[in-house]
Amino acid sequence: MFEKILIANRGEIALRVIRAAREMGIKTVAVHSTADVDAMHVRMADESVCIGPPPGTESYLSIPAIIAACEITGAQAVHPGYGFLSENATFVQALEDHEITFIGPSAAHIRIMGDKITAKDTMKKLGVPCVPGSDGGVPDLETARKVCEGIGYPVIIKATAGGGGKGMKLAQTADDLEMAFKTARSEGKVNFGNDEVYIEKYLGKPRHIEVQVFGDGKGTAVHLGERDCSLQRRHQKVFEEAPGPVITPELRDQIGKVCADAVAGIDYIGAGTIEFLYEDGEFFFIEMNTRLQVEHPVTEAIFGVDLVREQIRVAEGLPMSFTQDELELHGHAIEIRINAEKLPNFSPCPGKITQYHAPGGLGVRVDSALYDGYSIPPYYDSLIGKLIVHGRDRPEALARLNRALGELIVDGIDTTVPLFSALLEETAIHTGDYDIHWLERWLDDNMG
């Protein structure tokens, strides 16, 4: 049993991990930059270590600083949260070399899924349905033309090392191909140091459906249904829900089993998310995230399980605390992301919180590191909190979201909260009838 773990992250996700550890009787170590001395995760942890100056590259991304913090405090394991070092195979290897446990998958699995071509190839072999496209990397424009003639336009050119929406270019017709191909390559090179690209058929009106999987590293894995994250801006999720409004129990069981079997087949350990585009009743794999996702609380709400607790358990070599048959889905949950951003442009808006009040009551969860008087530093991600609601069904969850938004007060800075109040006025939000492009169009029409 771990006695002490270190959390290599900040903000709401660091609190999330501290809470799970505390319930398990495990001591926690927070790490922080000099900009985060007064951050909530530092106050809430049992111990804290300053690991460097404000820029993430010199603190939260510094592998030597984090390993030194483990050694100083005697932390036996590290939870990476999401972002930062959570999908960094070099970090996992470095921890292993120092006999510190990484609470997450193996370096090998992170490497496989971190390279999109290898990930797609692996998933295809494991029986997971993929978007039609090139067989692996496309070396030059001439090959690209041939591939596109085969699959038909429009197509999307993707950098194999890409992420966060970078290194992805759309070609509507053959005339756009050269430009899209070159841009995707150079974005891959500049942002990720790898210019290899591959090609996929561009789906016109898909939903984003992702399946939560969990493995024990010993060949057993389960799925915890899907999340629908179709409401996106610039490929970034803003509103997530579970279960998916258009997914039937039969479809859930079917795709869930395919995903659980796939990760069991590679002895995957810990939490993972297999992302799909879903169109006309068909699933198409796009990528796998080998970490806890920002939107994991909606899955926790409907299944009544603590995913971080499970991550810690399997990292210790313990079995998962549930089997597939024991997992029962109840009701409907929705999460909205509260970002310190100014509408309509979503420009970052750090600053001092003059007043903060979190909503409460039945079926309301707030994961946030905010407090009265806190100054949001300008150096990090703009996500400052998540509001998660759970109801017996989707209409009840939406009504609860509306009620909870009315109670929430974040004064002193601009946030994305008004966006959600406006969205709740829209019929499409209530019918659940939208695809991944709906929000962009709505923003153009309503906030452009």
CB 437 within 8 A of CB 205: yes
Note whether 192 binds ligand ADP by CB under 6 A.
Answer: no
Note whether 164 binds ligand ADP by CB under 6 A.
Answer: yes
CB 100 within 8 A of CB 145: no
The pattern of x and - marking residues 406 through 425 that bind ligand ADP according to CB under 6 A reads --------------------
Burial degree of 3 (CB within 10 A; 0-12, 13-18, 19+): exposed
CB 343 within 8 A of CB 413: no
Residue 333, strand partner residues? 242, 390
Of residues 409 and 443, the one with the C-beta less far from ligand ADP = 443
Count CB neighbours of 323 within 10 A. 10
Closest CB 268 distance from ligand ADP, rounded Å = 19
CB 70 within 8 A of CB 98: yes
Judged by CB under 6 A, how many residues of this single chain contact ligand ADP?
19
CB 8 within 8 A of CB 80: yes
Note whether 78 binds ligand ADP by CB under 6 A.
Answer: no
Note whether 131 binds ligand ADP by CB under 6 A.
Answer: yes
Query: Catalytic residue among 10, 185, 227, 291, which?
Result: 291
Residue 388, strand partner residues? 335, 365
The encoded tokens of residue 99 equal 């006999």
Q: Kindly identify the residues of this chain, within the stretch 281-310, that bind ligand ADP according to CB under 6 A.
A: 286-287
Tell me the one-letter amino acid at 200: E
Note whether 441 binds ligand ADP by CB under 6 A.
Answer: no
CB 307 within 8 A of CB 300: yes
Closest CB 164 distance from ligand ADP, rounded Å = 5
Note whether 163 binds ligand ADP by CB under 6 A.
Answer: yes
Q: Which of 66, 157, 203, 410 binds ligand ADP (CB under 6 A)?
A: 203
Of residues 236 and 375, the one with the C-beta less far from ligand ADP = 236
Closest CB 381 distance from ligand ADP, rounded Å = 15
Closest CB 132 distance from ligand ADP, rounded Å = 9
Q: Look up 291 and say whether it is catalytic.
A: yes
Of residues 28 and 289, the one with the C-beta less far from ligand ADP = 289
CB 153 within 8 A of CB 174: yes
Q: Kindly identify the residues of this chain, within the stretch 165-184, that bind ligand ADP according to CB under 6 A.
A: 165, 168
Note whether 235 binds ligand ADP by CB under 6 A.
Answer: yes
What is the sign, positive or negative, of the torsion defined by CA atoms of 341, 347, 353, 355?
A: negative
Of residues 109 and 365, the one with the C-beta less far from ligand ADP = 109
Closest CB 429 distance from ligand ADP, rounded Å = 18
Count of residues in the chain:
448
Stretch that binds ligand ADP, among 64-72, 197-205, 251-259, 307-315 (CB under 6 A): 197-205
Of residues 58 and 440, the one with the C-beta less far from ligand ADP = 440
Of residues 77 and 203, the one with the C-beta less far from ligand ADP = 203
Note whether 119 binds ligand ADP by CB under 6 A.
Answer: no
Task: Give start and end residues of each alpha helix (H) in 40-169.
Answer: 40-44, 63-73, 89-97, 107-114, 116-125, 141-151
Note whether 256 binds ligand ADP by CB under 6 A.
Answer: no
CB 246 within 8 A of CB 228: yes
Closest CB 131 distance from ligand ADP, rounded Å = 5
Task: Provide the CB-side half-sphere exposure for 130 (13 A, CA).
Answer: 21
Closest CB 158 distance from ligand ADP, rounded Å = 6
Note whether 219 binds ligand ADP by CB under 6 A.
Answer: no
Residue 166, strand partner residues? 163
CB 390 within 8 A of CB 397: yes
d(CA 81, CA 68): 19
Stretch that binds ligand ADP, among 48-56, 158-166, 351-359, 421-429 (CB under 6 A): 158-166
Q: Which of 21, 70, 156, 221 binds ligand ADP (CB under 6 A)?
A: 156
Closest CB 19 distance from ligand ADP, rounded Å = 28
Note whether 240 binds ligand ADP by CB under 6 A.
Answer: no
What is the sign, positive or negative, of the torsion defined by CA atoms of 208, 213, 219, 220?
A: negative
Stretch that binds ligand ADP, among 59-67, 200-208, 301-309, 360-368 (CB under 6 A): 200-208
Own/partner long-range contacts of 61-67 (Cβ < 8 Å, ≥24 apart): 61/85, 63/88, 63/90, 63/91, 63/94, 65/31, 66/6, 66/8, 66/31, 66/91, 67/94, 67/95, 67/98, 67/100
Q: Give the interface with ligand ADP as residue ranges (CB under 6 A).
A: 131, 156, 162-165, 168, 200, 202-203, 206, 208, 232, 235, 275, 277, 286-287, 436
The set of catalytic residues is 291
